[in-house]
Amino acid sequence: MSGYLARLKVLLAEERQIEQPPEPSKGRSGGSEGGRRPCVPGTAAAGDAVESWMQALAGLDPARPPCNVPAKRWEQFLNDGRRFLEHGWAVRAITLGWGPHDLFGCDRVKPYARVDRLGLVWLLDGRPIAALTAETARISTASGGHLTFRRRPIEPDLTLAWTLPANDNRSVIGKKIDPGNLAAWPDIGSTRGNNQ
């Protein structure tokens, strides 16, 4: 039985090591170097990926969500993405084998409606990550519980959030119209029959 307990202690210690992202190293000035977290040795590619993801998220407009994504949810996704990148979880995820589609992926046609195809960051919804392993992420809830996100194989027709076209709310069946020109809008009453 003592062998079992020893193995359990080792497993618990390993889990504690992956529960929190790596702490930034302190430079001579006592703060983190230039406001950026240094990469873990051997993860220069992870640092490059994180930098490119930061730039991609920074290029998205919170006021212009993609089609089928509610405006408040889009803004929350952008905030969650920035927090995920800034708090070191992205480097940890990359070193554990997570890719961009695992984190920021969504369905190309119905990005928010297909919850089964959303990446981890889409599902955070303002909640913090409690732990991250090679196959799962544990998300803390306000009630003190946890949600578990499990990585899935990358499927066809997945895309990244920053490749989705913004919804300009000015097109009707692919035809651009001026929102101030009411004559250009289709007559909804005529398509439903005579409502007089």
- Comparing 25-29, 72-76, 109-113, 139-143, the range with the smallest average pLDDT is 25-29
End-to-end CA distance of the chain: 82
Quick: pLDDT tens for 123-148.
Answer: 999 999 999 999 999 999 999 999 99
Quick: pLDDT tens for 79-103.
Answer: 999 999 999 999 999 999 999 999 9
- pTM for this one? 0.66
Using an 8 Å Cβ cutoff, are 73 and 67 in contact? Answer: no
More confident site: 78 or 43: 78
Is the pLDDT at 185 greater than 90, yes or no?
no
Taking Cα atoms as reference points, which of 144, 113, 108, 109 lies closest to residue 128? 144
Q: What is the pLDDT of residue 45?
A: 77
- Alpha carbon distance 104, 66 (integer Å): 14
Handedness of CA 181, 166, 149, 157 (dihedral sign): positive
Instruction: Give the tokens for residue 150.
Output: 């499990």
What are the boundaries of each domain within the chain?
44-164
- H or E element that contains 137: strand 136-140
Q: What is the pLDDT of residue 155?
A: 87
Quick: pLDDT tens for 10-59.
Answer: 544 554 444 445 444 333 333 333 333 333 434 567 888 999 999 999 99
| DSSP string over 68-134 | TS-HHHHHHHHHHHHHHHHTTHHHHHHHTT--HHHHHEEESSSTTT-GGG--HHHHHTTPPEEEE-S
